[in-house]
Structure 1
Protein backbone atom coordinates (compact mmCIF):
# COMPACT_ATOMS: atom_id res chain seq x y z
CA UNK A 1 0.00 0.00 0.00
CA UNK A 2 1.37 3.37 -0.96
CA UNK A 3 1.59 6.37 1.27
CA UNK A 4 -1.47 8.64 0.89
CA UNK A 5 0.67 11.67 0.05
CA UNK A 6 2.88 9.82 -2.41
CA UNK A 7 2.77 11.11 -5.96
CA UNK A 8 2.68 8.84 -8.96
CA UNK A 9 5.97 8.58 -10.81
CA UNK A 10 6.68 11.91 -12.47
CA UNK A 11 3.78 13.82 -10.98
CA UNK A 12 6.05 16.27 -9.20
CA UNK A 13 8.31 16.90 -12.18
CA UNK A 14 6.59 20.22 -12.79
CA UNK A 15 7.82 21.56 -9.47
CA UNK A 16 11.31 20.19 -10.03
CA UNK A 17 11.34 21.66 -13.54
CA UNK A 18 10.36 25.05 -12.16
CA UNK A 19 13.10 24.94 -9.53
CA UNK A 20 15.76 23.77 -12.01
CA UNK A 21 14.70 26.30 -14.65
CA UNK A 22 16.12 29.11 -12.51
CA UNK A 23 19.80 28.03 -12.57
CA UNK A 24 19.51 26.74 -16.14
CA UNK A 25 18.11 30.06 -17.32
CA UNK A 26 20.43 32.30 -15.31
CA UNK A 27 23.58 30.40 -16.26
CA UNK A 28 22.59 30.25 -19.92
CA UNK A 29 21.76 33.97 -20.04
CA UNK A 30 25.06 34.89 -18.38
CA UNK A 31 26.93 32.62 -20.79
CA UNK A 32 25.07 34.20 -23.71
CA UNK A 33 26.04 37.69 -22.54
CA UNK A 34 29.71 36.79 -22.27
CA UNK A 35 29.57 35.03 -25.63
CA UNK A 36 28.00 38.10 -27.21
CA UNK A 37 30.75 40.19 -25.64
CA UNK A 38 33.43 37.90 -27.06
CA UNK A 39 31.90 38.02 -30.53
CA UNK A 40 31.50 41.80 -30.59
CA UNK A 41 35.00 42.72 -29.37
CA UNK A 42 37.04 43.87 -32.37
CA UNK A 43 40.79 44.35 -31.90
CA UNK A 44 42.20 47.51 -33.47
CA UNK A 45 45.19 45.60 -34.78
CA UNK A 46 47.69 42.90 -34.02
CA UNK A 47 49.13 45.05 -31.27
CA UNK A 48 45.81 45.30 -29.35
CA UNK A 49 46.67 42.77 -26.63
CA UNK A 50 43.91 44.05 -24.33
CA UNK A 51 41.19 43.23 -26.86
CA UNK A 52 42.62 39.77 -27.47
CA UNK A 53 42.78 39.19 -23.72
CA UNK A 54 39.16 40.34 -23.40
CA UNK A 55 38.11 37.87 -26.09
CA UNK A 56 39.93 35.05 -24.30
CA UNK A 57 38.42 35.89 -20.92
CA UNK A 58 34.90 36.27 -22.31
CA UNK A 59 35.20 32.94 -24.14
CA UNK A 60 36.55 31.21 -21.04
CA UNK A 61 33.74 32.54 -18.85
CA UNK A 62 31.20 31.52 -21.51
CA UNK A 63 32.57 27.98 -21.60
CA UNK A 64 32.64 27.69 -17.80
CA UNK A 65 29.06 28.92 -17.35
CA UNK A 66 27.65 26.92 -20.26
CA UNK A 67 29.71 23.92 -19.17
CA UNK A 68 28.05 24.10 -15.75
CA UNK A 69 24.65 23.92 -17.47
CA UNK A 70 25.79 20.94 -19.53
CA UNK A 71 27.18 19.13 -16.49
CA UNK A 72 24.00 19.82 -14.55
CA UNK A 73 21.98 18.48 -17.46
CA UNK A 74 24.00 15.26 -17.47
CA UNK A 75 22.71 14.26 -14.05
CA UNK A 76 20.09 11.52 -14.59
CA UNK A 77 17.44 13.02 -12.30
CA UNK A 78 17.85 16.44 -13.88
CA UNK A 79 17.84 15.01 -17.41
CA UNK A 80 14.52 13.23 -16.73
CA UNK A 81 12.92 16.44 -15.48
CA UNK A 82 14.40 18.98 -17.89
CA UNK A 83 15.32 17.19 -21.09
CA UNK A 84 17.94 18.03 -23.69
CA UNK A 85 16.25 21.16 -25.09
CA UNK A 86 17.30 22.98 -21.92
CA UNK A 87 20.94 22.00 -22.47
CA UNK A 88 21.10 22.64 -26.23
CA UNK A 89 21.53 26.46 -26.04
CA UNK A 90 24.46 26.04 -23.63
CA UNK A 91 26.08 23.52 -25.97
CA UNK A 92 25.74 25.97 -28.87
CA UNK A 93 27.31 28.73 -26.76
CA UNK A 94 30.28 26.49 -25.94
CA UNK A 95 30.85 25.82 -29.64
CA UNK A 96 30.56 29.51 -30.57
CA UNK A 97 32.95 30.53 -27.77
CA UNK A 98 35.45 27.83 -28.74
CA UNK A 99 35.40 28.92 -32.39
CA UNK A 100 35.77 32.58 -31.42
CA UNK A 101 38.65 31.79 -29.09
CA UNK A 102 40.35 29.66 -31.75
CA UNK A 103 40.03 32.29 -34.46
CA UNK A 104 40.75 35.26 -32.17
CA UNK A 105 40.15 37.77 -34.97
Structure 2
Protein backbone atom coordinates (compact mmCIF):
# COMPACT_ATOMS: atom_id res chain seq x y z
CA UNK A 1 0.00 0.00 0.00
CA UNK A 2 1.39 3.34 -0.98
CA UNK A 3 0.53 6.67 0.59
CA UNK A 4 0.02 9.96 -1.14
CA UNK A 5 3.00 11.42 -2.87
CA UNK A 6 4.52 14.25 -0.81
CA UNK A 7 4.06 17.52 -2.62
CA UNK A 8 6.42 20.43 -2.26
CA UNK A 9 4.14 23.42 -1.66
CA UNK A 10 6.97 25.96 -1.44
CA UNK A 11 6.58 27.12 -5.04
CA UNK A 12 2.81 27.52 -4.66
CA UNK A 13 3.19 29.30 -1.31
CA UNK A 14 5.87 31.59 -2.71
CA UNK A 15 3.54 32.57 -5.55
CA UNK A 16 0.59 33.17 -3.23
CA UNK A 17 2.63 35.19 -0.73
CA UNK A 18 4.56 37.13 -3.39
CA UNK A 19 1.43 38.64 -4.94
CA UNK A 20 0.48 40.87 -1.98
CA UNK A 21 4.11 41.84 -1.41
CA UNK A 22 4.51 42.87 -5.04
CA UNK A 23 1.24 44.80 -5.05
CA UNK A 24 2.07 46.60 -1.80
CA UNK A 25 5.55 47.44 -3.11
CA UNK A 26 4.02 48.87 -6.29
CA UNK A 27 1.56 50.96 -4.26
CA UNK A 28 4.41 52.21 -2.09
CA UNK A 29 6.49 53.02 -5.20
CA UNK A 30 3.65 54.99 -6.77
CA UNK A 31 3.07 57.13 -3.70
CA UNK A 32 6.80 57.59 -3.14
CA UNK A 33 7.19 58.75 -6.74
CA UNK A 34 4.24 61.10 -6.24
CA UNK A 35 5.79 62.54 -3.07
CA UNK A 36 9.10 63.09 -4.82
CA UNK A 37 7.63 64.77 -7.91
CA UNK A 38 5.26 67.23 -6.21
CA UNK A 39 6.87 70.66 -6.26
CA UNK A 40 5.26 73.44 -4.23
CA UNK A 41 4.96 76.78 -6.00
CA UNK A 42 6.13 78.61 -2.91
CA UNK A 43 6.06 78.67 0.86
CA UNK A 44 2.37 79.58 0.68
CA UNK A 45 1.39 76.43 -1.27
CA UNK A 46 -0.20 74.50 1.59
CA UNK A 47 -2.06 72.14 -0.75
CA UNK A 48 1.19 70.89 -2.29
CA UNK A 49 2.74 70.36 1.13
CA UNK A 50 -0.38 68.48 2.24
CA UNK A 51 -0.15 66.33 -0.89
CA UNK A 52 3.48 65.52 -0.12
CA UNK A 53 2.61 64.49 3.43
CA UNK A 54 -0.32 62.37 2.26
CA UNK A 55 1.78 60.62 -0.39
CA UNK A 56 4.54 59.97 2.15
CA UNK A 57 2.08 58.53 4.66
CA UNK A 58 0.53 56.28 2.02
CA UNK A 59 3.95 55.11 0.80
CA UNK A 60 5.25 54.42 4.30
CA UNK A 61 1.96 52.75 5.23
CA UNK A 62 2.04 50.39 2.25
CA UNK A 63 5.69 49.59 3.01
CA UNK A 64 4.78 48.91 6.63
CA UNK A 65 1.98 46.55 5.63
CA UNK A 66 4.35 44.76 3.25
CA UNK A 67 6.84 44.35 6.10
CA UNK A 68 4.06 43.10 8.38
CA UNK A 69 3.05 40.52 5.79
CA UNK A 70 6.65 39.43 5.39
CA UNK A 71 7.15 39.05 9.17
CA UNK A 72 4.63 36.19 9.28
CA UNK A 73 6.74 33.02 9.72
CA UNK A 74 5.05 31.15 6.88
CA UNK A 75 5.91 33.97 4.47
CA UNK A 76 9.50 34.34 5.70
CA UNK A 77 10.00 30.60 5.23
CA UNK A 78 9.36 30.79 1.47
CA UNK A 79 10.34 34.38 0.62
CA UNK A 80 13.73 35.83 1.52
CA UNK A 81 14.84 39.34 2.37
CA UNK A 82 14.94 40.33 -1.29
CA UNK A 83 11.16 40.38 -1.41
CA UNK A 84 10.70 42.97 1.33
CA UNK A 85 13.80 45.16 0.93
CA UNK A 86 12.39 47.27 -1.96
CA UNK A 87 9.29 48.14 0.07
CA UNK A 88 11.42 49.02 3.09
CA UNK A 89 13.68 51.25 1.00
CA UNK A 90 10.64 53.04 -0.43
CA UNK A 91 9.29 53.51 3.08
CA UNK A 92 12.58 55.03 4.22
CA UNK A 93 12.70 57.35 1.18
CA UNK A 94 9.14 58.48 1.91
CA UNK A 95 10.03 59.05 5.56
CA UNK A 96 13.03 61.18 4.60
CA UNK A 97 10.90 63.19 2.14
CA UNK A 98 8.29 63.69 4.85
CA UNK A 99 10.92 64.76 7.39
CA UNK A 100 12.55 67.24 5.04
CA UNK A 101 9.19 68.80 4.29
CA UNK A 102 9.66 69.42 0.60
TM-score by length of 2: 0.93
Deviation at 1:6, TM superposition (A): 3.4
Correspondences of 1:1-105 after superposition (within 5 Å): 3-7=3-7, 11-105=8-102
Moved segments of 4+, more than 2 Å: none
Partner Cα separation in structure 1 for residue 78 and residue 53 of structure 2: 34
Q: Which runs of 5+ in 2 are unaligned?
A: none
Using CA pairs below 8 Å that are at least 6 residues apart, which structure has the higher relative contact order? 2
Partner Cα separation in structure 2 for residue 70 and residue 18 of structure 1: 17
Q: Which runs of 5+ in 1 are unaligned?
A: none
RMSD: 1.3
- Give CA deviations for 1:7-54 in whole Å, capped at 9, x if unaligned: 3xxx21100011111111111101100000000001111100000000
SS at match of 2:60: helix
| Number of matched pairs | 101
TM-score by length of 1: 0.91
